[in-house]
Amino acid sequence: MNEDFIYLDHAAATPLDRRVLVAMQPYFSEQFYNPSSPYAPAVAVRRSYEDAKHALARNIGVKPDELVMTAGATESINLAFNGIDGHVVAPNIEHHAVLAAAQARDCTIIKADSRGFVSADSVKAALRPNTQLVSVAIANNELGTIQPLRDIAQVIKVEREARLMRGDTTPIYFHTDASQGVGQIDINVARLGVDLLTLNAGKMYGPKQVGLLWMASHVRLSPQIVGGGQERGLRSGTENVAGVIGFAKALSLVVKHRKYESERLEILRDKLQKKLTAAFADSVVSGHPKHRLAGHLHISFPHLDAERMVFALENRHVLVATGSACAANKGTRSHVLMAIGLAPELADGSLRLTLGHLSTEENIAMAGDIIVEEIIREYARVKR
């Protein structure tokens, strides 16, 4: 990372932790063998790969044979929906990958409230006798709002038990995309109460294009990629040994340091928020005031051109986002902000500032000063 830049877009991508790179390096070169080959060096690589899967499983409280390794969260999400031929439920603020998968099927898209909060009651009201999958992200990637997964899981458990009582064997599964905020919130699946869970190494200081889907033993899905039968026959292809080993190391590190890091980021985030809201009394902070990721600050400035601000701040060596990287790449107004009813003049003036390992007290203070200066300059330009 160029040390001249202050990076405030950790929700889009995180830098590879040097300790993760060290763990991966041998598997790019001398330990290059195909883990499916029968000779001793390949068997040793297979053992390393399986050890990494054990470490991943241990850190989310599951069995290693319940994991399916994928090429990132989008593939994992698509696999979670593969083989679901009944009704599905998802909130209107989900990642595009979830919404696209849901809308390709019979679906009900439920509404989050103005804070981006999805209530268990709204999920309950959307259930039908043929509902097979409910998908709710553990935390929203734009607003940082943390969802009440345990309450939603209880609704699904009651529905599942009611079906069994009347002799209905239609399955109903609960999936969560837990890619966002892994280093800040607990992702133990037993405590979350989910049946399927998506993770993405690239959001936790691990390698990009590496992900996983955890499936409880009772879940039945269809293969996503057919061929050699790897990953329980659900995702064929030669295993990404270096990537999975890096993923395991990254997850172990963020879980180990989660409490300290979340407390550190919350302090920095609150200082930045206080500085910006003090400078601009009409600014609006979105997301749940209490149940929010420690490193997330979504703030809107009325009638500001946020896209211009992104480039103006880059010229001052501060890197920020207007929303998710997917929406920014398409040049469209964020569907999340539209879903929570944020007024257009606020939505178009929104910045998503996400903190992480690269954030320090010094550079966050400096970033706050620069953002204030550039917003004042932009407002002055518009008034001329």
DSSP strand pairing (107-110 vs 6-7): unpaired
Percent of residues in the chain assigned helix, strand, coil, to nearest 5: 45, 15, 40
Written in H, E and C, the secondary structure of 101-148 is HHHCCCEEEECCCCCCCCCHHHHHHHCCCCEEEEECCCECCCCCEECC
| CA 364 – CA 8 distance, rounded (Å) | 9
Active-site pick, 279, 310, 326, 338 = 326
| CA 25 – CA 116 distance, rounded (Å) | 40
Greatest CA span in the chain, whole angstroms? 74
Q: Which helix (H) or strand (E) holds 25?
A: none
Q: What are the φ/ψ torsions at residue 243 (nearest 5 degrees)?
A: -65, -45
Whether the Cβ atoms of residue 354 and residue 323 lie closer than 8 Å to each other: no
Which residues does 36 contact at the CB level (< 8 Å), separation at least 6? 42, 46, 228, 230, 238, 239
Query: In Å, what is the CA distance from 119 to each residue of 110, 126, 158, 172, 237?
Result: 10, 11, 16, 18, 39
| CA 168 – CA 86 distance, rounded (Å) | 14
| CA 4 – CA 318 distance, rounded (Å) | 9
Half-sphere exposure of 318 (CA within 13 A, CB side): 24
107 annotated active-site: no
Q: Which residues are catalytic?
A: 326
